[in-house]
Amino acid sequence: MSITLPKIKDSEKPAVLIIDDEVKICLLIKTFLEQTKLFRNVVVAENASIGMLKLRNDEFDLVIVDFQLPDKEGTYLVEMAKKSLKFRKLKFLLISGYLDNRSMINVINSGIKHVLVKPFSRDDLISKVLQILKLG
Amino acid sequence: MNFEILDSLFEPIVIVNKDNEIVYYNHMFSTFTKSSPRIIKNKKYLREIIATSFLSDMVELIFKTESATISKEELIDSLPDQEIHVIIKGAFLSEQSLVMISFNDITIEKNLYQKYRYQIDELKEIHHQIVQADKLSTIGEITASISHEISNPLTIASGTLELIKALFESDDLNSQKELLDSCLNDVIESFMRINNIIKGMKKFLHGNEDKKEYVAIEEIIENSTRLVNSQLKKSQVNLSVKNNTESNESIIYVNSLKMEQLFINLIKNSIDSINSTNGESDKSIQITLNETAMCYEILISDTGAGIPKEIQDKIFESFFTTKEVGEGTGLGLAIATKIIESYQGTLELLSPIAPTTFKITIPKMSTLSIASSTLNRDNDQEMNLNILVIDDEVKILNLFNESISSNNINVICASNPTEALNLIDDGRFNIIFIDYSMPEMNGDELAKKVRKLNYKGPIIYLTGKATDSKIKNDISSGLFNDHLLKPFNKEDITSIVKKWELGVK
């Protein structure tokens, strides 16, 4: 492993929600994250509605969401979440294979600050996540 | 016989005897050959005036066979200062044992024909370029979603490889074997997915466009929906296909690529139309496949914005587009119409308001193949073979068509017995091939029905088993005449057709 992982106290370990309609990608990201042993909880959801439900039922620090979901665009979920006080501190990471100009504007308008383009490597993912969560 | 009457005709005519000597000629003949009567008088033989070998050969042939007429189209270039295209007719005058030859000058017609053909070729070439341009822009438009489509499996593949790498670093490799196995399968599957997407795109752009083949409409619809699948997903449009036909294989004789292009154009229009509504309501495209006695009908309806009255007449025109500059070529429907018309089908707008519905009508294979064989018939007196192939497998029909279809062999195919029996009615088939095992009717039942229709030519079974005693019995009883063992290849077909082309001995 080329990145040095920080040491975090058990009580401060973050929880992550992954939303992607490609179940294998969800599981892959989950595996990558769990291998680091830095996270309290990693949950997956295959579409925006299920993602929303899981988001309400539990506490998360980061949502990794695909841009194209079967029911809604990933940005929609972010916009919804931003309206609620509960999710004020929630961070978002958008993953996508391709963004044309129009979608890019949508992404910027929705207030997403972090984007990861597919295909990404394990190191890309981990370092991005650590950077967003201001760990390490 | 008094030949003077020929002088009143406006066609050059000359009469010769067995030794090629000129017996009589009319005025037009001397004008036609640009030789004055004085010159012709000095020449004894026809070959001295028109020194073309085919003319002498033809005269000789007529004397030898004493047949009534032979007509031939030839180029005469031996006359001074001119090249003339003529149709030559030779008639044998049996009473006097002479041959009368008439010439029909078609040089002007021929030149016009060549000129128009050149222009038509040019138009065809331009049309081809336009079609290609439209395809490129289609691909351009769907590139975004295709690259998204590729990035998903690519992520899975590369990520899983990293997992595998990590697994190898762990100490106990054997206990992880199962996991390793599933990881490898994931990688392979992902690459297959990518490969399929790229293959589909490549085929769409560079496939052979002139080759017609037997293909099921269902397959065409499936292939085209696969290419636009990501766009559907992106716009959250629900696409459903409803098949109201009896079989699950509605076979037609078309170029599958062009048909795919047609479907993609229509589906893409539907998606664009749905996107332009901005509504949160039902977003769906419905494809319905129906059949009538002669045709298949495909309805494509969407819940999009519909088509305003004032542009309804214009949508099928080239370069008409409602999209913004740079977004569409305005050729989609024009090309779709061209494609479907080349298969004697039609494309109509059935309903301009939601659900906006387009109807594609395409003749069933049997209807279409008769039409095309009638159009392509050669006017020569050469033998024309009509061969009927009845099989429910597209592959077999294509193999027959590719192997033996030529100028004087028409291959007409039917995918089911009912269709075939309708075709046999007019008794013009020289050989009939029947698949022994078909879902609707057994081969021998069908053969009996064919014989009832008074068909006496050879019937050949296509079968998977050779030693079946029933088959031998039926051959000896004359129900059918031969069988071709599956799997067979091109040569097998050619040789069995050679064997039976003259009918039952």
For residue B381, the model assigns a pLDDT of 44
Q: Which of A20, A24, A64 to mutate to test the interface with B (most CBs of B within 10 A)?
A: A24
Identify the closest residue of chain B to A99 by CA–CA distance: B144
Provide the chain A residues 97-136 that lie in CB contact (below 8 A) with chain B.
Answer: 97-98, 100, 117-122
Of residues B5, B84, B100, B79, the one with CA closest to residue B35: B79
Give the tokens for residue B206. Answer: 């560079």
Tell me if the bond preceding B439 is cis, omega within 30° of 0. Answer: no
Q: How far is A89 from chain B (nearest CA, A)?
A: 29
Q: Does A10 touch chain B (CB under 8 A)?
A: no
Token duo for residue B466 = 């050779």
Based on the number of CB atoms within 10 Å of its own CB, is B152 exposed (0-12), middle (13-18) or buried (19 or more)? Answer: buried
User: CA-to-CA distance for B258 and B338, rounded, in angstroms?
Assistant: 10
β-bridge pairing B431-435 and B459-463: parallel
Mutate to test the interface with A, among B143, B150, B151 (most CBs of A within 10 A): B151
For residues B436 and B446, the answer to whether their CB atoms sit within 8 Å is: no
Cα gap A62→A52, rounded to integer Å: 13
**Distances from the Cα of A58 to the Cαs of A39, A51, A54, A73, B159, in angstroms?**
14, 11, 6, 22, 28
User: For residue B230, what are its two tokens?
Assistant: 């990501």
> Which residues lie closer than 8 Å to B298 by C-beta, 6 or more apart?
B217, B221, B287, B288, B289, B290, B359, B360, B361, B362
In a structure prediction context, what are the per-residue pLDDT tens digits for chain B, which is 505 residues long?
678 888 888 888 999 888 888 888 888 888 888 888 888 888 888 888 887 777 888 888 888 887 766 677 777 777 777 778 888 888 888 888 888 888 888 888 888 988 999 999 999 888 888 878 877 877 777 776 677 778 888 888 998 998 888 888 877 777 778 888 888 888 988 888 888 888 777 777 776 666 778 888 998 898 888 888 877 877 788 888 998 887 777 888 888 888 888 888 888 888 888 888 776 677 889 999 998 878 889 999 988 888 888 888 778 776 677 766 556 666 678 878 888 888 888 988 888 887 889 999 988 876 666 655 555 544 444 557 788 888 888 888 888 887 877 767 778 888 777 777 777 766 678 888 888 777 777 777 888 888 888 887 888 888 876 666 777 777 777 778 888 887 888 888 888 888 887 776 6
Closest CA to B504 of B469, B456, B464: B456
Enumerate the H helices of B207-324 as residue ranges.
217-234, 256-275
pLDDT given at position B380: 46
Taking CA–CA distances from A32, the nearest residue in chain B reads: B163
A96 contacts B152? CB cut-off 8 A: no
- How high is the pLDDT of residue A129? 93
The answer on pLDDT for A16 being more than 90 is yes
Residue B328 has a pLDDT of 62
Distance in angstroms (rounded) separating the CA atoms of residues B437 and A111: 65
CB atoms closer than 10 angstroms to residue B490:
12
Size (chain A), residues: 136
Question: Residue with structure tokens 């620090």?
Answer: A61
Rg (CA), chain B: 32
Q: In whole angstroms, what is the distance from residue B405 CA to residue B410 CA?
A: 6
User: Among partner residues B148, B157, B236, which is closest to A97 by beta-carbon distance?
Assistant: B148
Beta bridge partners of B15: B24, B100
Estimate to the nearest angstrom the gap between the alpha carbon of A38 and the chain centroid: 15
Q: What local confidence, expressed as pLDDT, does residue B68 receive? A: 64
* Average of per-residue pLDDT values in chain A: 86
Supply the pLDDT for residue A45: 92
CA distance B344 to B73: 32
Give the phi and the psi of residue A70 in degrees, each rounded to 5. -60, -35
Q: Note the maximum CA span of chain A.
A: 42
Task: Please state, in angstroms and rounded to a whole number, the distance separating the CA atoms of residues B244 and B475.
Answer: 39
Q: Are A28 and B145 inside 8 Å of each other by CB?
A: no
Query: How far apart, in whole angstroms, are the C-alpha atoms of residue B325 and residue B19?
Result: 77
The beta strand positions in chain A, using DSSP E, are 15-19, 41-45, 62-66, 91-96, 115-117
CA distance B140 to B453: 55
CA distance, residue B136 to nearest chain A CA (Å)? 18
Q: Which of B198, B192, B262, B273 is nearest to B224 (CA)?
A: B262
pLDDT of residue A17: 94
Tokens of B387: 């061969």
Angle between helices B443-452 and B469-476 (to 10 degrees): 10
Q: How far is A83 from chain B (nearest CA, A)?
A: 20
d(CA B291, CA B245): 6
Q: Nearest Cβ partner of B154 from A71, A119, A122?
A: A119
Q: Cα–chain-centroid distance for residue B208?
A: 12
Cα A76 from Cα B2, distance rounded (Å): 100
Alpha carbons B159 and B177: distance in angstroms, whole number: 18
Element (DSSP H or E) covering residue B113: helix B107-169
Mean pLDDT of A76-92: 85
For the cut 90, the answer to whether the pLDDT of residue A15 exceeds it is yes
For residues B56-87, one letter each, b for 16 or more C-beta atoms within 10 angstroms of the residue's C-beta and e for the rest, the string is bebbeebbeeeeeebeeeeebebbeeeebbbe
- Strands (DSSP E) contained in B322-377 are 346-351, 356-363
Neighbour count for residue B325 (Cβ, 10 Å): 6
H/E stretch holding B165: helix B107-169
Question: Is residue B75 within a helix (H) or strand (E), and if so which, with residue range?
Answer: strand B69-76
Query: Which residues from chain B sit within 8 angstroms of residue A32, using beta carbons?
Result: 159, 162
B186·A70 Cβ contact <8 A = no
Q: Considering only CA atoms, which of B2, B34, B6 is closest in space to residue B102?
A: B6
Q: Residue A118 is encoded by which pair of tokens?
A: 């597919």
- Which residues in chain B have Cβ-Cβ distances shorter than 8 Å to A28? 155-156, 159-160, 163
C-alpha distance across the termini of chain A, in Å: 15
How much is the pLDDT for A1?
52
CB contact under 8 A, B147 and A97: yes
Angle at which helices B256-275 and B332-341 cross, to 10°: 150
Kindly list the residues of chain B whose beta carbon comes within 8 Å of any beta carbon in chain A. Answer: 144-145, 147-152, 154-160, 162-163, 166, 186, 233-234, 236
The H-or-E segment that residue B394 falls in is: helix B394-404
A contact test, residue of B152, B169, B180 with most A CBs within 10 A: B152
How near does any CA of chain B get to the CA of A85, in Å?
Answer: 26
Question: Which of chain B's residues have a Cβ under 8 Å away from the Cβ of A120?
Answer: 155, 158-159
Residues of A whose CB is below 8 A from B166: 35
CA–CA separation, B196 vs B203, rounded Å?
10
Question: Side chain identity at B198, as an amino acid letter?
Answer: I
